[in-house]
Amino acid sequence: MKKLVVLTGAGISAESGIQTFRDTNGLWHGHNLEEVATPQGFAKNPALVLDFYNQRRKNIKEALPNAAHCILSDLQSQFDVQIITQNIDDLHERAGSKKVMHLHGEIFKCCATNNKSIVYPILDDLHLGDVDENGVQLRPFIVWFNEDVPMMPDAMEICKQADIFIIIGTSLVVYPAANLVEFVPNGIPIYIIDKKIPDLVIGKNYTCFEKTASKGLMELRKILLD
């Protein structure tokens, strides 16, 4: 089976009603990213950050996978599909995708503020005073800005093995994730689907679908299965 590697971003979950980041004038649900998505923001106002992610967790719990998530899941019958997602939601998994790597963490997991190597499930709210067995405050298991992305070496290896590479719904401005395309073998087909194709890929040898994730994937599926 050919290996289909798919890099997804917030745009693939937009049709499920989950707001993207950069479509909102730099404010994410009314907050600066520095306030709610950095370790410094958490140190300054942990209650605000916990509440922010409690809201995100609630929204994601209420959301459903959309046609784009489902098409990627269906493609598993024809391809070895490996998804590398920047999203913290679980919509790829709920659509049935088996191989999903979360580069930036997962909203339904938490960890101690001093140790990200042990994770715990969290389905509902996380509050100040919720601690691990050592009495250390818990935080969402999210890779914030200014933090390492520990999955990157594994993600790079996956990209090196791609026969086909697809990019869906990402502005490609957050590094190191945006660099992953540099690791795919020369000459393999690269497809990109985005409501607004990012300027930085214009002029590259990618096949572009300037469409929503579901419409773009419906067209790409026909090409892949031909």
Alpha helices in the chain (DSSP H): 11-14, 33-36, 39-44, 46-62, 67-74, 91-95, 152-160, 213-225
With respect to ligand NAD, which residue has the nearer C-beta, 57 or 104? 104
With respect to ligand NAD, which residue has the nearer C-beta, 97 or 212? 212
Please name the residues in contact with 56: beta carbons below 8 A apart, sequence gap of 6 or more. Answer: 29, 88, 107
What span, in angstroms and rounded, lies between the C-alpha atoms of 137 and 202? 45
Window contacting ligand NAD (CB under 6 A); options: 8-16, 109-117, 126-134, 157-165: 8-16
Query: Which tokens go with 155?
Result: 């993600």
Window contacting ligand NAD (CB under 6 A); options: 42-50, 149-157, 182-190, 193-201: 193-201
Tell whether residue 219 is a contact of ligand NAD (CB under 6 A). Answer: no
Which of the residues are catalytic?
104
Q: What is the DSSP string of 100-124?
A: EEETTEEEEEEEETTEEEEEEE--S
Tell whether residue 66 is a contact of ligand NAD (CB under 6 A). Answer: no
Under 8 Å between Cβ of 184 and 165: yes
The dihedral region occupied by 113, where left means phi > 0, alpha psi between -120 and 50, and beta the remainder, is alpha
Smallest distance from ligand NAD to CB 110, Å: 14
Count of positions (residues) in the chain: 226
- Contact map string, positions 31 to 60, toward ligand NAD, x by CB under 6 A: --x---x-----------------------
With respect to ligand NAD, which residue has the nearer C-beta, 79 or 216? 216
Selected from 213, 217, 220, 224, the binder of ligand NAD by CB under 6 A is 213
Provide the sign of the torsion angle of the four alpha carbons 101, 50, 179, 224, taken in this order. positive
With respect to ligand NAD, which residue has the nearer C-beta, 1 or 223? 223
What span, in angstroms and rounded, lies between the C-alpha atoms of 91 and 70? 9
Total residues interacting with ligand NAD, rule: CB under 6 A: 28
Q: Which of residues 146-175 bind ligand NAD (CB under 6 A)?
A: 169-171, 173-174
Tell whether residue 195 is a contact of ligand NAD (CB under 6 A). Answer: yes
Burial class (CB in 10 A: 0-12, 13-18, 19+), 194: buried
Smallest distance from ligand NAD to CB 1, Å: 26
Instruction: Using CB under 6 A, list all residues that contact ligand NAD.
Output: 9-11, 14-15, 20-23, 28, 33, 37, 86-87, 104, 142, 144, 169-171, 173-174, 194-196, 198, 212-213
